[in-house]
Amino acid sequence: MDTRLLLLDPRDNVVVVRAHLAAGDAVLIDNSEHVIGAPVAMAHKLARRDIASGEKVLKYGAPIGVATTDIPAGAHVHVHNMRSDYTPSFVLPKEAEAS
């Protein structure tokens, strides 16, 4: 496992990013190399393996949400492709992000 990633529980299908990852960075997850497509902030998640739409996302060995689309291994897992089981997920319109 890449030292920039943290596996919290062996049952998890995500890993936690321990340091900012830039687009183009390569990471090693379970002996498979994945190239990061867009920047990923520290404490965000990457898919440890392919996660199917509708499948539970597991962190700490427990379900934390559900995939809203198919998520390939190595991809960023966040509100754009996962719905939280605990809190509402909000995405700001692009116009609000610019202000």
Structural domains in the chain (count): 1
- Domain of residue 59, residue span: 5-90
- Is residue 67 in a domain? yes
Each residue's pLDDT tens digit, 13-56:
999 999 999 999 999 999 999 999 999 999 999 999 999 999 99
- Is residue 98 in a domain? no
CATH number of the structural domain spanning residue 38: 2.30.130.110
**What is the model's pTM?**
0.85
Name the nearest CA neighbour of 21 among 7, 8, 34: 34
- Is residue 77 in a domain? yes
- Is residue 97 in a domain? no
- Is residue 11 in a domain? yes
